[in-house]
Amino acid sequence: MYLTRFRVNTARPGARRLLSSPQSLHAAVMVSFPAFLPTSEQAPRILWRLDRNARAEAFLYLVSPAQPDLTHLVEQAGWPVAASAPDTPGWETRGYAPLLERLAEGSSWAFRLTANPVHHIRRKEGEPTKRTAHVTPRHQKRWLLDRQERCGFRVLETPPRPDQLSDPEYTRHDLLVRDQRTLSFTKSDEGTTRSPKVTLLTVTFDGHLQVTDPQALRHTLVTGLGRGKAYGCGLMTLAAPVNAAPRG
């Protein structure tokens, strides 16, 4: 497995087109692997995530079983002249195995995850259930916390402030929900005259976790969490926290 980071040149028109269209960015990601056709049934799952750290700063992350070739992205949305220098292709790729092997029960990590938190509801008795997005931070947090055990981790907790002790709804989890977006676009289906409309709510989770099941967490990191993986959801990345001591 490989982890890749590509810095997007947000000043370029091609970059702006990609950043505004999850469908176009998905297509650009899928043509980055010369070993297989993007439409093949044997094509492996590629996880990707777009991090918008500031208005003029965006990074594309990929987790993939093969090394990508992002030359087309450099030409369209990167710095082609800088990338023409020796040993500077315009993106960074490194093996993912060393990090995956470091995951040990009880170890603590900072994490980031962009996800599509949804649930199923039935509006009337007898009607089929309908998939609906969680729209409040409280329910979005609960969506992730409900999945943490089977995904091999637990979100760490922080001591409550005195004014929060009496709040029955207060949760002390070290978890921030931010950057909620509603993506709406037309999905292109080859060979059909109808183009279905896709609407997807995404949020980004930042927090700290403790590993409870290393094998389950490895599976989560390489296969993703939740729905919407084709459109930039499901990729969780880890980083060593400033204070690596377990909390909570």
**Tens-digit pLDDT profile for residues 102-160:** 999 999 999 999 999 987 776 667 677 777 888 899 999 999 999 999 999 999 988 76
User: Confidence band (pLDDT; 50, 70, 90) for 245?
Assistant: very low
Q: Using one digit for the tens of pLDDT, what is the confidence trace for 156-206?
A: 988 766 665 555 445 688 999 999 988 877 776 554 556 677 788 999 999
Predicted structure pTM score: 0.86
Q: What is the pLDDT of residue 55?
A: 79
Q: List, in order of start, the domains of the chain with CATH numbers.
A: 2-95 (3.30.70.1200), 102-239 (3.30.70.1210)
Mean pLDDT, residues 50-63? 92
The neighbour count for residue 116, using CB atoms within 10 Å, is 22
